[in-house]
Amino acid sequence: MKNQSAEPGTQFRPDTALEFRTNFGPLQSLMEDPEIEEVWINSPNRIFAARSGVSHLTNVVMSGEDVRGLIERLLMWGGRRLDLSNPFVDARLPDGSRLHVAIPEITATHWAVNIRKHLVRGKSLQDLRDMGVMDNQVALFLYECASSGLNILVSGSTQAGKTTLLNALVSAAPLNSRTITIEEVFELKPRLPDCVALQTRAANLQGEGEIPMRRLIKEALRMRPSRLVVGEIREAESLDLLIALNSGVPGMATIHANSARDAIAKLQTLPLLAGENISHRFITPVVASAIEIVVHVALDDKGVRRITEVISVTGRVEGDVIETESIYTLTRDPVSGTTSYLAGFGQISRDRIINKAGAPV
């Protein structure tokens, strides 16, 4: 197989793309199924797939050598390494899929492999509305917030659709805006003419050359951004993002949380990982002034993804508690079982937020 570069922006020739498609081996039929979102290998004879948000055991069986050979071929494209000194790998494949691998002795016996497919669908807020992720009033409100440059935090669990929703929100930015995206692995593909994507880099075999997310956020501020977008905040990089948002650069990010309010509470905690000199008392007002809208998306037991709540951050603080107001909450009728969005008291602050951003209400 030809050795091709996996650098961002590289154009792959048709014959190269054909070579890549054959690399999935026994998993090829699963990867070509448009309804399958993710494939994972617990052991060579326990291979699962998620179809429309629901996981099931497939009838695909591989050998241990097949699994190792598959991963070796896929990693040739990503430029990432996997060995005993670095038993995890997180890489992006040429088709946009995301690969994660863990090997023994981190895992008990077998290689654990996850391939999250990059599905080309739901790229705009209108697309997500048509897919039932939200109704029209929520879609219009989020479009106004995103296009106005409000600071938006998207929360939810794993596989809830946070990145897809973030991509749609970023794509709602004005066409004349310059957007810088920062991710561990390239996933975002906003529909914008002026967009630069940055990705972290792991250290080499000598332990050198690592480029963490904190460094990328600082570098992005030197690139004249109109929007700063962080794919996911997990650790100390949250402090750098909050400082950037408080410096006048609009931004968006995702975070793992059980609810929109839990997301705010978690964002008050993560910056403490940046060092002992960072206190909760310092961070709380910074979060209150930096974040304006929190959107929570959830995946139910039937595999349906919906926005369950939208809240606004008022900017007021009582002790260590940041005051929030509900704007929209997804409710279910106990009799008919139908769902609808209930407008909360935050509807008052909705007009205040939109007017503050200068967008038409």
Q: Encode pLDDT of 178-199 as tens digits.
A: 999 999 888 898 989 999 999 9
Given strand 112-116, what is the order of strands in its sheet? Answer: 54-57, 46-51, 36-43, 112-116, 98-102, 88-92
**Count of CB atoms situated within 10 Å of the CB of 255:** 21
* Superfamily holding 125-357: P-loop containing nucleotide triphosphate hydrolases (3.40.50.300)
Sign of the dihedral defined by the CA atoms of residues 179, 184, 190, 195, in that order: positive
The radius of gyration of the chain from alpha carbons, rounded to an integer in Å, stands at: 21
* pLDDT on residue 352: 61
* pLDDT on residue 93: 83
Contact 179, 189 (CB under 8 A): no
Report percent pLDDT > 90 for the chain: 63
What backbone torsions phi and psi does residue 144 show, to the nearest 5 degrees?
-60, -40
Ramachandran quadrant class, 156 (left: phi over 0; alpha: psi -120 to 50; beta: rest): left
Which of the four pLDDT bands, split at 50, 70 and 90, describes residue 113? very high
Q: What is the Cα 54 distance to its own chain's centre?
A: 19
* pLDDT on residue 353: 65
| Predicted confidence (pLDDT) at residue 2 exceeds the cutoff of 90 | no
| Predicted confidence (pLDDT) at residue 119 exceeds the cutoff of 60 | yes
Look up the pTM and report it. 0.83
Which of the four pLDDT bands, split at 50, 70 and 90, describes residue 45? very high
If you average pLDDT over residues 64-85, what whole number do you get?
83
* pLDDT on residue 327: 95
The DSSP string of 213-229 is: HHHHHHHHTTS--SEEE
- Tokens for 240? 């750098």
If you average pLDDT over residues 315-343, what whole number do you get?
91
Rounded to the nearest 5 degrees, what angle is found at the Cα of 248, between the Cα atoms of 245 and 249? 60
Contact 253, 233 (CB under 8 A): yes
Contact 221, 244 (CB under 8 A): yes
Which of the four pLDDT bands, split at 50, 70 and 90, describes residue 22? very low
Cα–Cα distance for residue pair 287/104, rounded to 1 Å:
40
Residues 6+ apart with CB under 8 A from 106: 87, 88
Which of the four pLDDT bands, split at 50, 70 and 90, describes residue 268? very high
What backbone torsions phi and psi does residue 229 show, to the nearest 5 degrees?
-125, 125
* pLDDT on residue 259: 96
Cα–Cα distance for residue pair 85/287, rounded to 1 Å:
37
If you average pLDDT over residues 144-158, what whole number do you get?
94
* pLDDT on residue 79: 64
* pLDDT on residue 350: 60
Which of the four pLDDT bands, split at 50, 70 and 90, describes residue 208? confident
If you average pLDDT over residues 8-32, what whole number do you get?
60
* pLDDT on residue 302: 83
Q: Residue ranges of the alpha helices (H) in the chain?
A: 14-22, 28-32, 64-78, 125-130, 136-148, 162-171, 213-220, 237-245, 260-269, 280-290, 346-357
Q: Where are the domains of the chain?
A: 14-116, 125-357
User: What Cα–Cα distance (Å) separates residue 335 from each residue in 304, 306, 309, 338?
Assistant: 20, 20, 21, 8
If you average pLDDT over residues 235-248, what whole number do you get?
94
| CATH C-level class of 14-116 | alpha beta
Residues 6+ apart with CB under 8 A from 144: 354, 357, 359, 360, 361
Which of the four pLDDT bands, split at 50, 70 and 90, describes residue 202? confident
If you average pLDDT over residues 310-336, what whole number do you get?
92
The DSSP string of 317-336 is: EETTEEEEEEEEEEEE-TTT
Query: Helices 162-171 & 136-148, crossing angle to 10 degrees?
Result: 60
* pLDDT on residue 20: 44
On the question of a common fold for 14-116 and 125-357, the answer reads: no
* pLDDT on residue 306: 95
Range scoring the smallest mean pLDDT among 25-29, 105-109, 345-349? 345-349
Tell me the pLDDT of the chain averaged across its residues: 87
Report percent pLDDT > 70 for the chain: 87
| Predicted confidence (pLDDT) at residue 276 exceeds the cutoff of 50 | yes
